[in-house]
Structure 1
Amino acid sequence: MSSVVATTAVRGRFLDIQNTVAQARDIHDQVRYVEDGLLIAENGKIRWFGDWQSGQQHVPADVEVHHYPDKLIVPGFIDTHIHFPQTEMVGAYGEQLLEWLNTYTFPTELQFKDKAYADKIAQFFVQELLKNGTTTALVFCTVHAESVDALFAAAEQYQMRLIAGKVMMDRHAPEDLCDTPETAYQDSKALIEKWHGKGRNLYAITPRFAPTSTPEQLAKAGQLKGEYPDVYVHTHLSENKHEIAWVKDLFPEQKGYLDVYHHYGLTGQRSIFAHCVHLEDAEWDCMHDTDSAIAFCPTSNLFLGSGLFPLKKTWEKQVKVGLGTDIGAGTSFSQLQSLNEAYKVQQLQGDKLSAFESLYHATLGGAKALDLEDKLGNFNLGKEADFIVLDLKATALQALRQEHAKSIEDALFALMTMGDDRNIHATYIYGAAAYVKK
């Protein structure tokens, strides 16, 4: 468990992306690699960053320098879509989205009305995030307010920046997992008042997806967004073709799936829609015009057979996108694994995903998608000191491959293709070591 330490000094090889960009081709110009660098954090924020020779004089005499000469230090990974109650059901066999929800997800989530159970899984979940180098996540809880309390309390122990919310769901689910428009509104309102902006916690209004909310409940979600304009909206969109057809049957008066959310005031700068595998052109335009964001979840899209996400289109349409693991339809907490699969998803569409673009999506691009690029995503001065120390040679095969790496870009690509939680040597949250590999 960590607490904010007054001053932290870390020396090693640093790699980040200095600024957000409008096109993938521009990322290369923003790559910052410091072979022998120094980061000094004070009270959780980056106070000094640069090369060791210039910076060593700024290290206070009584502060130990944590030196990682053979490691690579990058900003903490940002997960823009994950379900903490589904941690225990990763790798559930054989279904696509709608059948998978009924067969596995809903029965699992029923357990979270028990606060002790929610606390137990929340503690495990936060540990897994840290172990995988994820320092910020946008998280689905369950319909139970207790699940939200459990998660934020677990994250608070590390001063971790999490965004989360209670699921709103009043139809097409087991009765014991349903709320009502009014109870969803009242519970969410109470949770916003309790947690949003407390420490590093942020709240997300969280209708599961359009089919499990009545028009009355979606209107209540929109009312919450109007009353609390700085909170987030987090839901699912156009993941599966059967789901899309179902939405069209349920909401015939709307122009399409995204228009359901837009109609109820749920699009916007802090609205994040998971998946978006099958968006229509008008929906891409609406995403851009409203400054909404997408969470791209490659391991989940492949596991559930949902489809291939057109990442290239986010650049063409200028739509913000982050990377999500989508545990538990996704198959790994590791964003290295997410990027491994993201590369393959693009290859299957005739596109390439470079190592530096991958790093961008997992760090600064994810921060931009969550409207947090002023606080997270790189080593710029004044930002929150969330970063990870990577061991590029965690296995014998990785060590052999890294010996033959031709550049830092090649080394990074090999890591993202072969890497997982074994490559996370240490995770720093708000300037303090929250996880160190044993």
Structure 2
Amino acid sequence: MSPAPSLARRVFHGTLIHSRSLTEIEYITDALLGVNEAGVIAFLDKDVREGEVVARLEAKGWSGVQLVRLKRGEFLIPGLIDTHTHAPQYVNLAYGQQFELLEWLNKVTFPAEAKFADALYARRTYEGVVQRLINSGTTTVCYYGSLHLTTKVLAAICHRKGQRAFVGKCNMDRLSAPNYQEESASKSLENTEEFVSFVRGKCVSPTVVAASDGTLGANPTLAPASRDSFNTSLVQPIITPRFAIACSDELLTGLGEMLKKDPSLPCQTHLAENPTEIEFTKSLFPFASTYTHVYDHFGLLQQNTVLAHCVHLDHDEMDLIKSRESGISHCPNSNFNLRSGTSKVANMLDRGIKVSLGTDVAGGTSLGILSAIRTASFASKTIVFTQRDSTAPSASAPTPPTDAVPIVSADGKTTYPPGYFSSRHLSIETLFYLATKGGAQVTCLEDRVGDFAVGKEFDALLVQTGQRGSETQKEEVGGEEQYELALEEGLEDRFPADEFGSSLFVEPEDSLEKVFEKFLFSGDDRNLGSVFVRGRVIGGARPLA
């Protein structure tokens, strides 16, 4: 394998925002962050004043590099991570809301996915899907493809465009549409092996290794067949049984054997999304005590398994997921749209389960994790006020005292009192964590992305809110003069058309924390100037050169 092609070193000076824990966001002003030739964060210095930047870079041997000075209202955040979406379903985005899950699959989804047998159609569609997700701020994504080997096209496009992606060819050999079902379990397994080989052979990113001080290193002798090689590639294959209903025992057994032989292979599937789905699954697998135990029986629950939805889990199922160290993708848009329910994310967090966010297009009606953040907030508040207004006793975790606070240990780890999250709606801090570090944990990428720690790869978004400088005219005039000035300015067209979106409205005097919250809840792709993956600009509304 050849060394990674070098990037030009780049330095940012300004404001950075990232998660430190489920309950803490770190706002760093006057930060100096350097990205080296491998796209890895080489250093992060805090409290570096404008006049100190040049000297600080000279001392590091970084003079003459590209320096990006972030303006007022601009800041960097880690790239957003979507742990559950269906690439072939984007053609149905915002369509079919009148159905629940199983009817929706048969009447809306399976007919749409069947069209992806056509490779040219797949190419045309996936080109738009991938770039739109990139421009919405999704730097890492878990994609479901169709059951066809044209899913190779999706993987190839992700590889070419530079998106970090887990791409899976769907496995489904029974109880689907007559024209959208694999001919046998053996053929499904054969095609899956072919797909995995293709991604690992054709979509391999050059291997980069950064030293602890952030300087560039490379290991050109790392064998392509090694597990570490796969883990450094931006695009990776992921085993994708659609859900238990669509997979025979023989197929699930075969997929479990693949994972057993190669634990580096991740897995993704749906779990406990809809009450009707759950009952149907139990009738198909009478040996299993719960839906979750079906997957465990076949060896599909592992550290790098992503379980989508998990709306209707009981306590035993949560404990099993925790014990297997599997992760959950919370998809609130879809859960509301298909009337599946409200997932008890707070209970999962209280148990220490890994949780992230997913869009689940086209069950979900919006692309981009910003939308998932907003709906996850609404879902958690729905749970809180439903419990508040219920006359039945709550079965949630014990409620901690109102003054209970997280405890940070000397090594920086945070622990929470029993029932801490279940006693409240999801905070801004928690939601942002799920969208970034939570997604990194669920995809087992926490040692690579999710925050701005030195040594991690620079997957980031340059957010531009259009915040202007503070007004000083109020201080210079008062009374009648102020009134006349306001009237004069009101008759003039003083401001250009807003290029940062019609919803996000920030004022000159807004604090950084206020601007950030406004961005999370009213910003969109027009506020994402540049999108970076491993240091490279791969999209954005105003991408840096």
Deviates more, 1:358-367 or 1:44-53: 44-53
Deviates more, 1:363-372 or 1:67-76: 67-76
- Superposed displacement of residue 39, structure 1: 2.1
- Superposed displacement of residue 119, structure 1: 1.4
1:39 is the counterpart of 2:39:
no
- Superposed displacement of residue 364, structure 1: 0.8
Residue 392 (structure 1) aligns with: 465
Deviates more, 1:187-196 or 1:283-292: 187-196
Number of residue pairs aligned between Structure 1 and Structure 2:
425
Q: The residue matched to 1:143 in structure 2 has which SS?
A: coil
Are the counterparts in 1 of residues 162 and 538 from structure 2 also a CA contact under 8 Å?
Answer: no
Residue 57 (structure 2) aligns with: 56
Q: Deviations over 1:221-254 (max 9, x none)?
A: 1011112111111000000011001101111111
Are the counterparts in 2 of residues 291 and 320 from structure 1 also a CA contact under 8 Å?
Answer: yes
1:240 is the counterpart of 2:274:
yes
Are the counterparts in 2 of residues 355 and 409 from structure 1 also a CA contact under 8 Å?
Answer: no
In 2, distance between residues paired with 1:114 and 1:228?
A: 31
- Superposed displacement of residue 273, structure 1: 0.5
Q: The residue matched to 1:252 in structure 2 has which SS?
A: coil
Change in 2 beyond 3 A, CA 1:396/1:119? closer
Residue 164 (structure 2) aligns with: 161
Q: Deviations over 1:286-306 (max 9, x none)?
A: 010100110001111111111
1:164-313 aligned at under 5 Å gives the runs 164-179=167-182, 180-196=184-200, 198-199=204-205, 200-313=234-347
Are the counterparts in 2 of residues 392 and 415 from structure 1 also a CA contact under 8 Å?
Answer: yes
Q: 1:136 aligns with which of 136, 140, 153?
A: 140
1:322 is the counterpart of 2:395:
no
Deviates more, 1:276-285 or 1:190-199: 190-199
- Superposed displacement of residue 151, structure 1: 1.4
In 1, distance between residues paired with 2:16 and 2:95?
A: 38
Residue 74 (structure 1) aligns with: 77
Q: The residue matched to 1:157 in structure 2 has which SS?
A: helix
In 2, distance between residues paired with 1:336 and 1:359?
A: 9
Residue 12 (structure 1) aligns with: 14
In 2, distance between residues paired with 1:397 and 1:114?
A: 39
Residue 430 (structure 1) aligns with: 534
Q: 1:122 aligns with which of 99, 123, 126?
A: 126
Q: The residue matched to 2:505 in structure 1 has which SS?
A: helix
Q: Deviations over 1:96-132 (max 9, x none)?
A: 1101101111011111111111111221111111111
1:327-342 aligned at under 5 Å gives the runs 327-342=361-376
Amino acid at match of 1:250: L
In 1, distance between residues paired with 2:272 and 2:454?
A: 38
Are the counterparts in 2 of residues 268 and 292 from structure 1 also a CA contact under 8 Å?
Answer: yes
Give me the TM-score of the superposition, normalised by structure 2: 0.75
Are the counterparts in 1 of residues 349 and 355 from structure 2 also a CA contact under 8 Å?
Answer: no
Are the counterparts in 2 of residues 9 and 40 from structure 1 also a CA contact under 8 Å?
Answer: yes
- Superposed displacement of residue 377, structure 1: 0.2
Deviates more, 1:221-230 or 1:53-62: 53-62
Q: Deviations over 1:311-363 (max 9, x none)?
A: 11112111101100111111111211111111110111113222221111111
In 1, distance between residues paired with 2:161 and 2:67?
A: 21
Deviates more, 1:150-159 or 1:276-285: 150-159
Amino acid at match of 1:86: Q
In 2, distance between residues paired with 1:415 and 1:436?
A: 16
1:73-92 aligned at under 5 Å gives the runs 73-92=76-95
Higher helix fraction: Structure 1 or Structure 2? 1
- Superposed displacement of residue 397, structure 1: 5.0
Amino acid at match of 2:262: Y
Are the counterparts in 1 of residues 43 and 454 from structure 2 also a CA contact under 8 Å?
Answer: yes
Are the counterparts in 1 of residues 163 and 538 from structure 2 also a CA contact under 8 Å?
Answer: no
In 2, distance between residues paired with 1:245 and 1:34?
A: 49
1:146 is the counterpart of 2:150:
yes
Bigger Rg, structure 1 or 2: 2
Residue 382 (structure 1) aligns with: 455
In 2, distance between residues paired with 1:67 and 1:126?
A: 29
1:413 is the counterpart of 2:486:
no
RMSD: 1.8
- Superposed displacement of residue 427, structure 1: 0.6
Change in 2 beyond 3 A, CA 1:172/1:396? closer
- Superposed displacement of residue 408, structure 1: 3.5
Change in 2 beyond 3 A, CA 1:308/1:112? same
Change in 2 beyond 3 A, CA 1:430/1:253? same
Are the counterparts in 2 of residues 11 and 69 from structure 1 also a CA contact under 8 Å?
Answer: no
Are the counterparts in 2 of residues 356 and 409 from structure 1 also a CA contact under 8 Å?
Answer: no
Q: The residue matched to 1:362 in structure 2 has which SS?
A: helix
- Superposed displacement of residue 404, structure 1: 5.8
Gaps of 5+ in 1: none
- Superposed displacement of residue 14, structure 1: 0.3
Amino acid at match of 2:244: A
Deviates more, 1:381-390 or 1:267-276: 381-390
In 1, distance between residues paired with 2:105 and 2:428?
A: 34
Are the counterparts in 1 of residues 501 and 524 from structure 2 also a CA contact under 8 Å?
Answer: no
Gaps of 5+ in 2: 206-233, 385-423, 467-499
Q: Deviations over 1:41-73 (max 9, x none)?
A: 121211122234465334733422122213121
